[in-house]
């Protein structure tokens, strides 16, 4: 079968392309149907849609969506607050009021023009107790949302906000299948589940993420297995997309919203239509540290963020990389030789580097808690299982740490690394 060129499309074929585009199915399914029918690549399908200007949807849409598809973003907009509203469903008005309050605060107090984007979501619930017979013939959304509804595709810097992706509210994994939309941009999808997923990439490529928003409408699901599942996964929330430059956005960030409509975004708390700046926080989880592999630029940005959050506690995971004593690499002679040539083969140097980093982190935040992780145990495993005579580079360190193991009750410290942290830095919670 030969490929079909756009210029050779018949009027009937063009209508077929439009028909598929406007069908209520997954975006990836539309791509697959058209690419197979015309023997073309998925990128060609996208170019056809652009040439046909299919962002203008049919006029048989509900009146609210007809207006929503014509709505455009203000050219001066720097920040978007994006959430989802289900059809024929009441809204959480406290959430909406707080969202409007936060929008006005960012615009007026922080000097960044902000807009609210509400993605319309559709779901047929035969057990919906707020539908009357007349309403069943057409879709509707609460009137309070009219000024914020968008329908179609919104391009905002390097972020695509897909306001017309028909994802079932009961879907457990709302971002599945939409990776294709994130070829050169982040993607925000409207869904009742607040979800965030990073995408695989080649080294050096920009980070790309898929986010789903969470909902501004209340729970409204059918009395069925899928409906019960959707109800359990339902969450109030929104996604913030903020321009860094004209063409580049900060990584979209998800915000969880409580049932009373209140929420916290980094250092700002919004409750009862009042925005307050948070002076301190209960805790901050740094994630996996892996001292030897750490990116200093990322570390410095994190330290800056921690300074703003002023946490009472900081939690560190996998603080020690254990590259020299990694049991999974013990038989890899190539890696061993590479580490020697790079000067990364000495256990004591790696331990010292780890202790120095913990001390650095301890100096910029509150109480430090270290979660004992598998990499933290590599040193202990090395002492337990290896023979110091086979690694003369590290025999002094081995014997030093083995003596500790034989003379100190390590249960109080977790393991050898915990003991070294305690004696070098002072008290750090190691559990």
> Each residue of 96-108: pLDDT tens digit?
999 999 999 999 9
User: CA separation (Å) from 23 to 131, 177, 376?
Assistant: 24, 16, 53
Q: CA angle at residue 137 from 133 to 142, to 5 degrees?
A: 85
Both tokens of 257, joined, read 């919203």
For 339-367, give one letter per residue: b (16+ CB within 10 A) or e: beeeeebbbeebbebbbebbeebbeebbe
Can you tell me whether residue 83 is helix, strand or coil?
A: strand
Question: Residue 56: its pLDDT value, please?
Answer: 59
Question: Residue 128: its pLDDT value, please?
Answer: 57
Sheet holding 209-213, edge to edge: 153-156, 159-162, 186-189, 209-213, 194-198
Contact indicator for 325, 390 with CB cutoff of 8 Å: no
- State the fold for domain 63-278: Purple Acid Phosphatase; chain A, domain 2 (3.60.21)
CA-to-CA distance for 417 and 424, rounded, in angstroms? 10
pLDDT beneath 50, residues of the chain:
131-134, 136-137
Count of CB atoms situated within 10 Å of the CB of 97: 15
For 254-272, give one letter per residue: b (16+ CB within 10 A) or e: bbebeeebbbbbeebebbe
Phi-psi region of 26 (alpha: psi -120 to 50; beta: other; left: phi over 0): beta
Question: Residue 277: its pLDDT value, please?
Answer: 93
Both tokens of 153, joined, read 């595709």
Count of CB atoms situated within 10 Å of the CB of 145: 19
Residue 397's contacts (CB-CB under 8 Å, 6 or more residues apart) are 346, 347, 348, 351
Q: Can you give 321-363 as a three-state secondary structure string?
A: CCCCCCHHHCCCHHHHHHHHHCCCCCHHHHHHHHHHHHHHHHC
Contact indicator for 377, 415 with CB cutoff of 8 Å: yes
How far out from the chain centre does Cα 270 lie?
A: 21
Report percent pLDDT > 70 for the chain: 93
CA-to-CA distance for 358 and 428, rounded, in angstroms? 9
Both tokens of 374, joined, read 């598998």
Structure confidence by residue, pLDDT tens digits, 371-410? 888 887 888 888 888 888 888 888 898 899 889 888 988 8
Q: Is the whole model's pTM more than 0.85, yes or no?
A: no
Question: Residue 58: its pLDDT value, please?
Answer: 55
Q: Show the DSSP H helices in 22-62 as ranges.
A: 27-38, 42-51
Burial class (CB in 10 A: 0-12, 13-18, 19+), 151: buried
């Amino acid at each position: 079968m030969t490929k079909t060129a756009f210029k050779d499309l018949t009027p009937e074929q063009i209508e077929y392309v439009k028909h598929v585009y406007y069908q209520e199915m997954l975006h990836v399914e539309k791509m697959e149907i058209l690419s197979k029918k015309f023997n073309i690549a998925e990128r060609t399908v996208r170019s056809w849609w652009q040439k046909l200007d299919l962002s203008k949807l049919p006029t048989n849409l509900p009146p609210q969506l007809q207006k929503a598809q014509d709505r455009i973003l203000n050219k001066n907009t720097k920040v978007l607050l994006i959430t989802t509203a289900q059809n024929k469903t009441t809204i959480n008005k406290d959430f909406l009021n707080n969202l409007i309050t936060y929008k006005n605060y960012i615009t007026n107090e922080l000097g960044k023009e902000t807009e609210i984007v509400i993605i319309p979501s559709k779901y047929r619930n035969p057990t919906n107790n707020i539908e009357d017979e007349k309403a069943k013939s057409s879709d509707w959304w609460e009137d309070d949302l009219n000024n914020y509804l968008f329908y179609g595709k919104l391009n905002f810097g390097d972020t695509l906000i897909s306001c017309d992706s028909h994802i079932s509210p009961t879907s457990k994994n709302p971002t599945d299948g939409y990776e294709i939309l994130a070829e050169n941009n982040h993607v925000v999808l409207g869904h009742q589940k607040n979800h965030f997923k990073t995408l695989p990439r080649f080294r050096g490529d920009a980070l790309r993420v898929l986010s789903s928003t969470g909902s501004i409408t209340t729970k409204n699901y059918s009395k069925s297995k899928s409906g019960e599942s959707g109800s359990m996964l339902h969450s109030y929330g929104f996604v913030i997309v903020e321009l860094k430059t004209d063409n580049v956005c900060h990584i979209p960030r998800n915000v969880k919203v409580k049932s009373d409509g209140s929420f916290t975004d980094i250092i700002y708390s919004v409750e009862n239509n009042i925005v307050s700046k948070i002076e301190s926080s209960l805790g901050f989880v740094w994630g996996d540290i892996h001292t030897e592999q750490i990116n200093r630029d990322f570390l410095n940005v994190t330290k800056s963020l921690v300074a703003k959050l002023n946490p009472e506690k900081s939690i560190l995971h996998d603080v020690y990389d254990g590259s020299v004593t990694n049991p999974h690499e013990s038989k890899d002679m190539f890696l061993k030789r590479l580490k020697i040539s790079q000067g990364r083969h000495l256990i004591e140097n790696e331990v010292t580097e780890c202790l120095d980093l913990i001390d650095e982190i301890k100096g910029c935040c509150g109480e430090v808690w270290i979660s004992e992780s598998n990499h933290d145990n590599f040193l202990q495993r090395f002492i337990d299982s290896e023979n110091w005579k086979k690694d003369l580079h590290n025999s002094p360190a081995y014997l030093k740490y083995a003596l500790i193991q034989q003379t100190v009750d390590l249960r109080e410290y977790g393991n050898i690394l915990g003991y070294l942290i305690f004696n070098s830095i002072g008290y750090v919670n190691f559990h």
